[in-house]
Amino acid sequence: MFSKSDAEVAPTGSIAGPVRQVNATTVATPSEVDLAYARAVAADALARGSKDSSIPWENPHTGAGGNITPLTTAYNAGASTCRDFLASYVLGQAQAWLQGEACRTPHGTWEVKSLRPLKQG
């Protein structure tokens, strides 16, 4: 009956405006110590020879962790036998995806040659 239009109502500050949702997940840059743990598990995962099976990794000192997933069967890169893999990295609300390549050493073990942020696009 005595209502004002929305244009005539002045805000008083007693009622909060609309709440905006903020995505709490941020992109992380893994530390070298965390990457060392991921590399060690990646070498073990590739030595097992399975494809498309994820193996979890964790740094108990920082709480960072994720999964290592071999992506392809072995291929020849020059004189080396190599494999690609994907690694997830999670630390609190921060996360990242990493891509890696590992090659078999002359001693038969796997050595991670690269582990860097995943190129998307």
DSSP 8-state symbol, 5: P
Residue 38 counted as domain residue: yes
Share of the chain above pLDDT 90, in %: 48
Predicted confidence (pLDDT) at residue 85 exceeds the cutoff of 70: yes
Give the pLDDT of residue 73: 78
Give the pLDDT of residue 27: 67
Residue 20 counted as domain residue: no
Count the domains in the chain: 1
Residue 121 counted as domain residue: no
Residue 9 counted as domain residue: no
Q: What are the pLDDT digits (tens) for 19-58?
A: 444 444 566 789 999 999 999 999 988 887 766 678 999 9
Give mean pLDDT, residues 109-118.
Answer: 92
Q: Considering the entire predicted model, what is its pTM?
A: 0.72
Dihedral angle sign, alpha carbons of residues 75, 118, 113, 89: negative
Chain-centre distance for alpha carbon 30 = 9
